[in-house]
Structure 1
Amino acid sequence: MDFVSDGKGREQDIIDLFAASFTAAEGAAEGTLIAALVRDLLEGTPAGDLHVFLACEGLTIIGGAIFSRMRYDRDARRVFILSPMAVAPDRQGQGVGQALLRHALAVLRADGVAVALTYGDPDFYGRVGFAQISVAQAAAPFALRQPEGWLGQSLTDAPLAPLKGPAACVAALNNPDLW
């Protein structure tokens, strides 16, 4: 398995991976919703506000993790949120997602990102260093339907200190239906 930190020229393959993964796990409506989110992220997010990480075997993409910038208006730290992430249905449960996330978090850390957030399964994301946080520690852009899935981690040597100010996400995530 190889890791790639750029999806340029592979946008449709990336969208197809997310559509297939979310359709298999949660049904066609969710697959369509997440495919549209990925398209919006890839097409409409400024390059400096987006990191795309892929796990590949040869030319086949078997995993994808998309991180986009979050801003807190009274906090100078660089913050990125993982949303969404997918592993090809036939490759799930084989460590692809965890390996991909370890790689992605190391790249973000080396790039000076101070905090990584995500909104998902605490058991899965806890394996790569994410821990449950409250909206007092890091405000979310919208009300969380499942607050137990609000997760974060410091990518510095310091513990995760509360992020200051209200949160703002990139345009593609600025949809309350995603939260």
Structure 2
Amino acid sequence: MTRIKRKKLNLAVKKELQKWLLIRITGIVLLCSLVAALILYFYARSEITSSFFDAHLKIRRVSDLLLPVLLTGSAVSMVAGLLLAMFLPQKIAGPVYRIEKDLEQVQEGELTKEIRLRKGDLLMDLADEVNKATASVRQRIQEIKDNYRAAEKAVRAGNDSQVEEALHRLEESLSRLKT
């Protein structure tokens, strides 16, 4: 049984994206903690002497007193988590959706398509790399077309040496594409 060697965790990849996510998630966690602490403070701050004596038959454990605090803190954390889950992925999902739609056109043969994202989108680097790759493929295909036209022209002219040279260039162009 061969063991698959795992790659080490690389925290230096996409530092800006990692920093952006870390700041947002840490901010939400801190905000939830602050709100939960404030709720606990206001519950704990209220005077309970008269209500304690009135409720001594109902309250048996400290957890009975803290249950409303825990439920309120949990509800606030849940709402904050839902907000984070709704809005944070949009900064990533929007550009991913745009890239997918543009790549569908490239897949259909539209090699002049360039992916354009809004300024400041998180996946601008990815879009730029896809645009470079598409431009490179487009350039190679254009080179193949040019060499094909030259070979076709040489065949029509009946010049065997030009035909051979054009076919050689065409073969070289095709050999640069790995399929």
Give the TM-score range, shorter chain.
under 0.3
Q: Rg: which structure is higher?
A: 2
- Give the helix-richer structure, 1 or 2: 2
Higher-RCO chain (CA-CA 8 Å, sequence separation at least 6):
1
TM-score, normalised by the number of residues in structure 2: 0.19
| TM-score (norm: length of structure 1) | 0.19
